[in-house]
Structure 1
C-alpha cells in the first residue's frame, strides 16, 4: 500500500502543467501553438489554445479557447469539466461557455472537442493578469469539485499575431489559416484609405463557407474603425485552397498610421456581443503602385489654369448594376476667379473597356474664386459582375458638341475606397456650397405583419445655410452585416427648411420576416438624374457622395398606458376613457392631447395611428385608424372635422361609435377591456402602448 506522501506526489505529477509562453501563431508544417496544458488523466488533458481581451463598454471581455483531448478508452462527459477565470490577486470572474457549444456533450475516445468561454473582467485587467483554472466534479471533495490545475498567462504572451505569420481560425471542425498579404494605403486631405489583403487557406479536409466575420483596424489608442469586406459573403473554400479578400475602410487623416492592428470578430447572436477571433499586427503600408488618389494635377484651358485631384473612387450597388463614382476636387490656385469649365469624361477598364460617365456638380455656384475649390462627382455604370485589375479616369473639356479635349488622366489599381463610415454620435456634414446640411440618425423602428416586416430609419437633416433651402434629394440603401443590400425609399419633404431648421426624413425598406437588423448600416447618397442633382418629383438614375451610418438598436419599448406616447415628432396622450352601450351602439369616449416638437418638417404620408379595442374575453374587437398627416391644423377646418380626426392640441370627449350587436351581446362586461395603440405604415404595425380599463367606469 502506497503511503500518503507517495499519493500526494503522484497527484502532483498528474496535474503538472506544461506552460508555453509563445504567440498563438501558425508556422508551416506545425499545428496551432498553445499557451499550456493541464492533465485530466495519464492519457487525457486540457489545452489552453488562445485567450483574447477586448474592450466592451465600461469593462473588458475575455474570450478563452480551450480544447479537451481524450486519449482514453471511454468517452468523457463535457458537463463534468469546466473552467474558472481569476486574476493573480485572486479575484474571480464568472466564465460561461458559448450557447453554440451546448450540443458538445461528450468527447469520444481518441478525439478532441474545442470549447469557447467568455467573461467580463474589469477595465484595468491586462492579459498577463489572468489565470485559468481547470475544474471537474469530485464527490469525494467538500465542495464536490476539484482543481485539476491552472495556467497563468505568461508575461511574454500576446494575442496579436505578427504580420509575417499566420493564425488558425476554427470554422466548425475545420481549421483555416489566415495571414496578411499586404496593406495598401492612400491618404487624402480628410482620410487614410487603407486596404488590407487577407489570405484564407483551408488547411482541413472539408469544404467550408467562411462566416460573416466583422473586420476593424485598431489603433494603439484602442480606437476601432470598421472595414468593408469585399468578396466575403458566401465565400466557399475547398480543402487546401486559398482565397484572398480585400478589406477597405476610411480613417480620419489626423489618426497616426503607425502600429495598426487588424481585429477579426464574429457576432454571437444569442449574446449580442462580438467575440474576437484573431488579431494581426499590420505591416507598414505601401502606396498603390500607379495610383493617383490624393495627387494634384494641373491643366490649362481657355479660361485659365485649373488643378484637379482625385479624392476617392467608389464602386456602389445600384439595382441590377454597379455605379463607379469618382470624387474630384477642381481648384483655382491663381489670383483671379475662373469660370467652371464644361467637363465630361469616361472610365477605361484594363485599357480596353470604355465606360461613359456624367460629371455632376453638387455645389450651387457659378464660378471658382481665387484660392478656392469646387467638388465634382463623376459617375458611370457597369454590370455588377464586372471584374478588372486597372482603371483609368479620363477627364475631358467639352469645347463644342463635337469637340472634346482630354485634360487629365488618373489611374488606379482595382482597389476602391470603402464608403466613409459615421458612428451614431458622429454627424455627417454635406459641405456643398448653397446646400450645406448636417445629417444624423435619430432612431430605428421596425414594423411587422403576419408575413413580412418593414424597417424605418429616421434621419435628421439640418439646414446649415443662412437661407431657406429645399432638402437634398437622397438615395438610400440598408446594408446588412452579411453584405446584403436592401433598396430603401426616402419620404420627400417638399417644404423648404429654415436656417438651422431640421427636416425629419423617414427612410424605409421591406425586410423578410425575422431578418436581423443587428450591425446593419444605412447608406445614403445625393440623388442624380441625367447627370444633374434630382429635382422634386424626379426619378433618380444614380447617386453620388455615398456615406454610411451605424444604426442604433430597434426601438421596441411598449408603454403600459396611453399617456406620453412618442411617435416622433409627435407626443400623444389619451386618458379619461369611458364606455357606453345604448341600443345597438357602443361608444368609446376619451380625452386626448397631441403636441409636436418645434418646427420640424417631415412627411408622414401613409403613417397611421391605430387604436384597437378588445373585450376582456378576446372574442370581439374593433379598431379605428387616424391619418397622422391630419394631425396638423389645416385652414378652413370645421369643428365637425376635428370631431372625426385627431388634431394637435387638447381635446375632450372624443367619441368613437360602433354599431354592432355582436360586440354588445357577446362582450364580457365583467372583465376589463384592453386598448392598444399602434403606428402603421404600408400595412405593417409597431405596438406603442397598451392599457386595460373597467367597463362603464371613466379612467384617470
Structure 2
C-alpha cells in the first residue's frame, strides 16, 4: 500500500533491534533456495494466475510450511507493515514446530529477506525473542523479526528465506526454503472479524466492537472506537506497551488515546476487556474505510512494531439532544444504558436558585457495565457552565436490568427559569498527548491535549413544588399510590452540647386500596444549608402496609448546634431504592417555628398513643440526695399500660431543666420487660446538680422516647437521640426522717422493721435480730434501682456500725421475716446494759439520705447467770425492756 502521509513522532525514528546472531548474518551471503523449497514458490506464473482467480485473503494458512528436518517444520504465521517517515517497517513471525525427539537449537537456523529483484534485507529478532535459544521436542516457538524497507516495497515483493548452517558450502550456509506472501493477501482484518496477535508473548484476540462520532466545538468531532481484547493464553497479560492509531483512507495517521478506564491493560488468562479509544479529528475528515492500527513498542529504544490492522465499520453519528421526560440511550462497553432526567425541583432565594434533579440510569444490556465517571454540568443559553459534583459515579457498576437513581444539586444564578438551561453529561476528560497527524510527522505535545465530549444534553423537566407541611397536607401520587403528607409536630430538644430537631410526619393513604410504603429516609435543609450528616427516620409501625384512609407516622430527626438560630426549615422524605441511592419522595416546607413541648403539671398524668397502644405517663415523686459539692435530683416516673395488649414505651430519655434554662442530662434506670394490660412500670431518672444551683424549685423533667439505628430502643442498648418529648413539672423535696422503722416507703416496696433486739453476750460480740415485713403493694416492673440500704447502729458511746442490706437477697419479701447478724467489737466488752439507736439510710450513687431512726435498749437475757447484772442508774430494771415496741 502506498501511504502518502505518516504517523507523528510516536512512530517516527524507529531503530532496529540487534539480535544474538546479527554479526554472523551480516557476514553471511544469501544463498539460493535449497532442494526442500516449495515447488509452488518456484512457479511465479502459477502463483500469479491463482492470485488473480481468488478474492482478497486475510490469512497465511495456505502458505506451505518449510521443513527444517525430516519431521520438524517452520511456518510463516504473521506479517505486518507500517508506513513511517523514513520508510516502511515490516514484521513477520516464524513458528518453529519440533516433531523430533531432541531439542532444536535456534542458533542453527535464521532468516533472510530478499526481493524478487535481488535486494537483500537483514531482519533482526525483536528484543523479547532474542533469548529463545531452542525448541523442546513436541513444542513450538514463535520468533518475530523486524526490518526497514523502502516506502515503495510491498509485502508480495518479498521472499522470506529460511537459512541453516552448511559447512559444505563456500559461505557455510544453505537456504532450505522460503515463503512468499500472496499478492491477494491483505494484512487488514475485515469488519466484524477477529485478529489473533501476540502481545507480551500472550495470544490475544482483537476485535473492533464499533465506532461512534460525537459532536464537538471549533470544527472538531470526537471519535470513539470500542476494541475488545480476549486473552486466550494461559497467563496474565499485564500492560503491554501498545499504541493505537486511526489511519484515514488517505493514509494520514491519527493517534488514539484510551479513556480513563482503558489506560491500563491487565487481563487475566481467558478473560476479556473492552477499551474505549478516543481521538479529536477535523469535522471535514471522512471516516469511510478507515483502519485501526495496533503497534507495540519493543526494547529500550522503543522500536515501533506493527501488530495488526483492522478495518473500521461505518461510523454512527450520535444525536445527544434529549427532550424533557424522554430517555437517552448511551452505549457503554457494547451494552445499552438508558438514562432519564426524571424530575427537578427549584428553590429560589434572592438572585440565585438551587436546582435538585434525579438522573436515572438503567442497564438494558445483558452484561454488567461500569459507568464512567462522567463530568456533569448545567449549561445556560449563553454557554455558561455550572459543574455538578457527585460521588455517585465513583466505581458505579450496573448489573443487567438494574437501575441507579442519582440525585444532583446545583446552585445557579438567575430567576429559576429551567427552560433556559440544559443538563449536560460529558465523558471523563482524556489526554491526547500528540497533535493531529499531518503526513510529515508531528512533535509530541509537551502539555498534552485534554478533550471531553457530550453523551447527553437533556432538557429540564417541569419543576415540582410543595406546600407548607405544618399547615396543609400535601398530596402526592407515585407508583406506590396516593398519599397525603403533613408535619404533625416539630420539636427542638436538648442533647449533650447540641440540639435535636425532631419532626413527626403523618402519612395518610389517600387511595381506596391498601398500599405499601417504600423504604424512606430523611433529609433536612435549614435555610440554604443541607444537613448531610446525622439524619434519621424512625417509623412508629413495623409494617409497611397502610389500608385505605389509614394514617401512619414517622419521626425525622437530626442534630444541630445548640446556638444555631433557624429560619426556614425543609423536611425531605427520600425513597431508598438501594443501599447507596435514593429518590426524592416529597419535600415539606416549614417556617422553622419550633412548637412548645406539651406541659404536664405536678400531680397530673399524660396519655399518649392511639387507643390500641395507649400509655399513661406521670411523675410519682422527686426528692434530693444532698452531697458535699453536688446534689442528686431523683425522680420516680410511672408508665401505665392502658391498652388491651402487652404494650409500653421503649427506653426513655430525660433531661432536667431549671427555671433559668439550664439542662442536665438525666440517667435512667428502666425495666426491660414490656408491661401487660393494666400493669405499671417504673423509670427512675437522676442527675447531679452543682451546689451552685441555689434553687431546685420549678424544675421540668423533659421525657422522650429513645431511638438509635433508625428505630426505637427497647431492652438493652443506649439511645443516641429521642423524639416525642413531653415536659413534666417537678418540685424536688427533701424527705422527712421518720421516728420509727415502720411503714417506710422503698417504692415499689413497703418496709417495716421496728422489731429489733440486740442481745449482750458478756463479751465483745452483740447479736442482732430483726423481725420485718417487706411487701410490694402494686404490680410494678422496675429495673435495677441502684439503691443500697444501710442499717446503722450507734451504741451509747457514739460508735457507729453499718450493715448493708440488699432487697430480694438480704431482705426477702414477706410478712414476719427474720434477719440476724452480729457485731464484734471491744466497745461491747463488759457492757451489761444500756441503749443504742438504729437508723435506716438510702444510699444512691454514693450519696445518702436518712429515712428513719429509732432508739432501743440492749437485751440482757443472754448474759451469763454467774455474772450479776447491775442496771444503770435510771433503768427500770426490766430485762425485757425494748422500748415497749416488741410484738414478740
TM range (shorter): 0.5 to 0.7
Q: Give 1:308 shift.
A: 0.7
User: 1:174-216: CA deviations, max 9, x gaps?
Assistant: xxxxxxxxxxxxxxxxxxxxxxxxxxxxxxxxxxxxxxxxxxx
Inter-partner Cα distance in structure 2 for 1:291 and 1:391 = 10
Q: 1:685 aligns with which of 848, 855, 858?
A: 848
Aligned to 1:602: 782
Is residue 672–residue 716 contact of structure 2 (8 Å, CA) maintained in 1? no
Inter-partner Cα distance in structure 2 for 1:590 and 1:398 = 65
Q: Give 1:486 shift.
A: 0.7
Is residue 364–residue 432 contact of structure 1 (8 Å, CA) maintained in 2? no
Q: Give 1:352 shift.
A: 2.9
Q: 1:337 aligns with which of 507, 511, 514?
A: 514
Q: TM-score, normalised by structure 2?
A: 0.42
Q: Give 1:329 shift.
A: 0.8
Q: Give 1:616 shift.
A: 3.5
Q: Give 1:412 shift.
A: 2.7
Is residue 621–residue 663 contact of structure 1 (8 Å, CA) maintained in 2? no
Listed as ranges, the matches of 1:490-639 within 5 Å are: 490-513=668-691, 515=693, 516-554=695-733, 556-582=735-761, 583-617=763-797, 619-630=798-809
Inter-partner Cα distance in structure 1 for 2:692 and 2:813 = 36
C-alpha change, 1:624 and 1:499, in structure 2 (3 Å) is: same
Tell me whether 650-659 or 519-528 shows the greater mean CA deviation: 650-659
C-alpha change, 1:373 and 1:573, in structure 2 (3 Å) is: same
C-alpha change, 1:455 and 1:407, in structure 2 (3 Å) is: same
Aligned to 1:387: 565
Larger Rg belongs to: 2
Inter-partner Cα distance in structure 2 for 1:364 and 1:554 = 42
Structure 2 SS opposite 1:491: strand
The question of 1:646 aligning with 2:646 is answered no
Q: Give 1:587 shift.
A: 1.9
C-alpha change, 1:329 and 1:664, in structure 2 (3 Å) is: farther
User: 1:271-294: CA deviations, max 9, x gaps?
Assistant: xxxxxxxxxxxxxxxxxxx95413
C-alpha change, 1:664 and 1:483, in structure 2 (3 Å) is: farther
Aligned to 2:550: 372
Runs of 4+ in 1 over 6 A off after TM superposition: none
Listed as ranges, the matches of 1:447-526 within 5 Å are: 447-469=625-647, 471-513=649-691, 515=693, 516-526=695-705
Q: Give 1:679 shift.
A: 1.4
Instruction: Give the length in aligned residue pairs.
Output: 394
Structure 1 SS opposite 2:771: strand
C-alpha change, 1:412 and 1:663, in structure 2 (3 Å) is: farther
C-alpha change, 1:566 and 1:352, in structure 2 (3 Å) is: closer
Aligned to 2:594: 416
Structure 1 SS opposite 2:676: coil
Q: Give 1:653 shift.
A: 4.9
User: 1:620-649: CA deviations, max 9, x gaps?
Assistant: 01111111253xxxxxxxxxxxxxx11111
Structure 1 runs not aligned, ≥5 long: 1-289, 631-644
Structure 1 SS opposite 2:670: coil
Q: Give 1:326 shift.
A: 0.8
Is residue 760–residue 858 contact of structure 2 (8 Å, CA) maintained in 1? no
Aligned to 1:313: 490
Q: Give 1:433 shift.
A: 8.0
Q: TM-score, normalised by structure 1?
A: 0.53
Inter-partner Cα distance in structure 2 for 1:497 and 1:545 = 20
Aligned to 1:398: 576
User: 1:379-401: CA deviations, max 9, x gaps?
Assistant: 01122232332222222222334
C-alpha change, 1:580 and 1:399, in structure 2 (3 Å) is: same
Is residue 522–residue 548 contact of structure 1 (8 Å, CA) maintained in 2? yes
Is residue 673–residue 715 contact of structure 2 (8 Å, CA) maintained in 1? no
C-alpha change, 1:540 and 1:434, in structure 2 (3 Å) is: farther
Is residue 351–residue 392 contact of structure 1 (8 Å, CA) maintained in 2? no
Q: Give 1:593 shift.
A: 0.7
Inter-partner Cα distance in structure 2 for 1:354 and 1:469 = 35
Aligned to 1:694: 857
Inter-partner Cα distance in structure 2 for 1:657 and 1:574 = 17
Q: 1:660 aligns with which of 821, 825, 829?
A: 825
Structure 2 SS opposite 1:662: helix
Is residue 672–residue 714 contact of structure 2 (8 Å, CA) maintained in 1? no
C-alpha change, 1:324 and 1:587, in structure 2 (3 Å) is: same
Is residue 671–residue 784 contact of structure 2 (8 Å, CA) maintained in 1? no
Inter-partner Cα distance in structure 2 for 1:601 and 1:510 = 25
Structure 1 SS opposite 2:827: helix
C-alpha change, 1:441 and 1:653, in structure 2 (3 Å) is: closer
Is residue 616–residue 668 contact of structure 1 (8 Å, CA) maintained in 2? no
Structure 2 runs not aligned, ≥5 long: 1-466, 860-880
Instruction: Tell me the C-alpha RMSD between the 2 structures.
Output: 2.3
